[in-house]
Amino acid sequence: MPLVFTVTNTSGAPVTLELLGRTPTADFRVSDSAGRTIWSRLRGQTLLGVLRLFPLDAGKSLSFRQTWHQHTDTESPVPPGEYLIRGVLLTGDRAGLASPPVRLRIGR
Amino acid sequence: MRHSRLLVSGFAAAAALGLAGCQDDSGPTSPDAGVPSARVQSSQGADLPSADEFDRKVPGFGGFFLDRAGAPTIYLSRGSSRGPAEQALAGYLSGRGLSTAAVRVLEARYGWKQLQRWQEAATVEALAVPGAVFVDNDETSNRVRIGVQNLSAMGQVRAAVARLGIPDDAVILDRAEPILQVATLQNVVDRPVRAGVQINFPGYLCSVGFNATSGTQKSFITASHCTSTQGGVESTPYWQPLQSVNGTQIATEVADPVYVRNGPGCPRGRKCRYSDASRAAYINGANQALGLIAQTSGANNGSLTITGSFSIKADDCGTRGGCLPVGTTVNKVGRTTGWTSGSITNTCVNTGVSGSNIVQLCQTFVSAGVGGGDSGSDVFQITSGSNVKLAGVLWGGNSGGTQFVFSPFGNVTAELGTLITH
């Protein structure tokens, strides 16, 4: 399942983002109907703790792509049901810059 | 592969997130920080008018405030009608279920605009007097209020005000404590430079690891990836806290071993080192605060305000992997998450770095807070009071910011050579 997460500077002026790592990095997180995160692209990975000062001009975007194979972090296929998916741009703030959740329903 | 049918169409469309242009105002540590506009904002009903609005709409206006009980209180010159004031506050009052009778009127001796002019004139003269702290158009007293630290300043300020022709009765002089800028790990111009404070190299922010003297060269240690290129020396320049705040370069990268392929223990196709550490030499050796780590108010409380210093009294062993066992409590001080503390959970872990072909060999994992910008932070064990034993250099963490990884002191010295840390 292809996922695309885009962060856009919708203002009329450039901004400087403070991003975790030497290159802009985004996580994709899938949670189940109970709110548990069942899959995260970056789960278990170790990331560099540098903060990059990233200028983003007005109207410009950062995009990240990922394929989710409908498995959990433990490689088990997810059961049918409703899921929420978020993209999270990793920043100097622990919460990051997150997209609103997108609802997904997986059926048989 | 299991066959699944998507019941929601168009999912591959971007989950776009609009980013407003008002950058977080983090003060002098961030370029392009905007100045927030001040506005009196009520959480119920209409906004309160600004002082300028009051002055335009209310004849005889001399100042407005909410008293200790929250009652709207306005200064009006003798003979002025309260009607325009009630009209200006109508929206605010109705939003709180208050009648116009709730407005208290006090007699103004001086007009608001006149007091403004006197405040501006007094600011130039009074704040030039040593010991003067502030000059305020005090809306609660309908006077210009000037804060001074001592009697000597008080006399000089009184004389300065008189020379300006400001009526003696229009000015109140108060004893006041000096206003001090809160120094944080991010904004402090730290001289000499202690471990834990922010450093800036072109396009990036990191933390000072620990000060160290190599031979006779006064230096600091930070992460290898806190240089222009991770591995190899490019003479990376450093500023503290930020080039735009203090443009005098403090140090230059002088040591950063290259990452090696096919070395012992290094997985095929990867390049490895035992430490993510580099050394930068101070341009002015007097800027080295050897043995000192900036200390904040407490561990794991989120504070970045510097309240003192830790003192390095010892180093961990020089053995690769370090000598601190699982379960040991260690600490770090870094510019983003401040002072965090937790237990070592794993030792001598060969660790792949996300998004790269780098493997850091024999690293230590800690269950404690970390954030972007903390790279390079000093990791230490508190031995007693503010005395600490240096354990290593922090370089990474998990995406949740709940676990950090550091290169043990022995790994650092194995690659950067003997270092005097205190």
**Are B238 and B100 within one domain?**
no
**B178-231 pLDDT tens trace:** 777 789 999 999 999 999 999 999 999 999 999 999 999 999 999 999 999 999
Instruction: Express each pLDDT in B10-62 by its tens digit.
Output: 222 233 443 333 333 333 333 333 322 233 333 445 678 888 889 999 999 99
Given this model, what pLDDT does residue B36 score? 28
B198 and B326 assigned to the same domain: yes
Give a yes or no: residue B250 inside a domain.
yes
B residues 214-243 closer than 8 Å to A (CB)? 223, 225-226, 230
Same domain, B333 and B396: yes
Prediction ipTM score: 0.92
Residue of A nearest to B4 (CA): A108
Cβ-Cβ contacts under 8 Å, B337 against chain A? 94
- B120 and B210 part of one domain: no
Query: Among partner residues A13, A46, A51, which is closest to B205 by beta-carbon distance?
Result: A51
| Chain B environment of A4 (Cβ under 8 Å) | 12-15
Q: What is the DSSP string of B370-383?
A: --TT-TT-EEEEEE
Please give the biggest Cα pair distance in chain A. Answer: 47
The CATH number of residue B331's host domain is: 2.40.10.10
d(CA B345, CA B366): 5
Query: How many C-beta atoms lie closer than 10 Å to residue A91's C-beta?
Result: 22
**Is the domain of B367 the same as that of B219?**
yes
Q: How many CB pairs under 8 A join A and B?
A: 186
Q: Does A22 touch chain B (CB under 8 A)?
A: yes
- Suggest the residue from A3, A28, A46 to mutate for an interface test with chain B (most B CBs closer than 10 A): A46
- Are residue B68 and residue B162 in the same domain, yes or no? no
Minimal Cβ distance to B354: which of A4, A45, A50:
A45
Instruction: Establish if B358 belongs to a structural domain.
Output: yes
Assign residue B132 the CATH number of its domain: 3.30.300.50
Instruction: Please state the three-class secondary structure of A84-105 as a single string.
Output: EEEEEECECCCCCEECCCEEEE
Tokens of B271: 């390049």
> Which of B206, B12, B355 lies closest to A42 in space, CA to CA?
B355
Q: Indicate whether B182 belongs to any domain.
A: no
The pTM of the whole model exceeds 0.90: no
**Paired tokens of B130:** 């040593």
| Pair B406, B395: CB distance under 8 Å | yes
pLDDT band at B128 (very low <50, low <70, confident <90, very high): confident
DSSP-derived letter for residue B324 is P
Give the Cα separation of B306 and B208 in Å (integer). Answer: 14
Same domain, B154 and B266: no
> Average pLDDT, stretch B249-261?
98
pLDDT at B324 over 50: yes
Residue B16 forms part of a structural domain: no
Query: Do residue B206 and residue B81 come from a single domain?
Result: no
**Does B389 map to a domain?**
yes
Asked whether residue A59 carries a pLDDT value surpassing 90, the answer given is yes
> Would the CA dihedral through B12, B13, B17, B19 be positive or negative?
positive
Q: Helix B112-126 to helix B151-163 angle, to the nearest 10 degrees?
A: 120
B253 and B388 assigned to the same domain: yes
Does B9 reach chain A within 8 Å, measured CB to CB? no
Which residue among B16, B19, B372 places its CB closest to the CB of A50? B372
Interface test with B, best of A50, A86, A88 (most B CBs within 10 A): A50
Taking the C-alpha atoms of residue B335 and residue B84, their distance in angstroms, rounded to an integer, is: 52
> What average pLDDT does the segment B353-368 reach?
96
Residue type, B90: A
Question: What phi and psi, each to the nearest 5 degrees, are found at residue B130?
Answer: -60, 130
The answer to whether B16 faces chain A, any CB pair under 8 Å, is yes
Mean pLDDT of B225-248: 97
Q: Does A29 touch chain B (CB under 8 A)?
A: no
Going along chain A from its start, the domains and CATH numbers come out as 2-106 (2.60.40.2360)
Closest by Cα among A41, A107, A102 to A78: A107
Decide if A92 touches B, using CB distance below 8 A: yes
Residue of B nearest to A24 (CA): B355
Any A CB within 8 A of B22 CB: yes
Q: Give residue B91's pLDDT band: very low, low, confident or very high (50, 70, 90).
A: confident
Identify the residue whose tokens are 């008080």.
Answer: B154
Nearest to B295, CA basis, from B304, B286, B287: B304
Task: Report chain B residues whose CB lies below 8 A from the CB of A102.
Answer: 11, 15
Q: Does B197 touch chain A (CB under 8 A)?
A: no
B22 contacts in A (CB within 8 Å)?
11
Total tally of structural domains belonging to chain B: 3
Give the tokens for residue B127.
């704040």
Other Cβ atoms closer than 10 A to B55 = 19
Query: Quick one: tokens of B320?
Result: 């690769």
pLDDT 10s digits, A61-73: 999 999 999 999 9
Give residue B156's domain range: 112-175
* Domain termination site, one of B175, B204, B220: B175
CB B333 within 8 A of CB B209: no
B169/B101 same-domain check: no
Which H/E stretch holds residue B331? strand B329-334
Mean pLDDT throughout B329-353?
Answer: 97
The last residue of a domain, from among B126, B147, B175: B175
Asked whether residue B14 is domain-assigned, the answer is: no
Say yes or no for a CB contact (<8 Å) between A46 and B372.
Answer: no
Peptide bond into B192 cis (omega under 30): yes
Compute the average pLDDT of residues A49-58.
96
Q: What does pLDDT average to over chain B? A: 88
- For residue B141, the model assigns a pLDDT of 94
Asked if B151 and B199 sit in the same domain, the reply is no
Look at residue B389 in the predicted model and tell me its pLDDT. 98
Distance of residue A33 Cα from the nearest chain B Cα, in angstroms:
16
Please choose, from the candidates B394, B346, B343, B345, the residue with its C-alpha nearest in 3D space to the C-alpha of residue B370.
Answer: B394
Judged by a CB distance cut-off of 8 A, whether residue B209 touches chain A is: no
Do B124 and B272 fall into the same domain?
Answer: no
The nearest CA of chain B is from the CA of A5 a distance in Å of: 5
Give the per-residue pLDDT at B144: 95
Query: Last residue of some domain: B175, B209, B228?
Result: B175
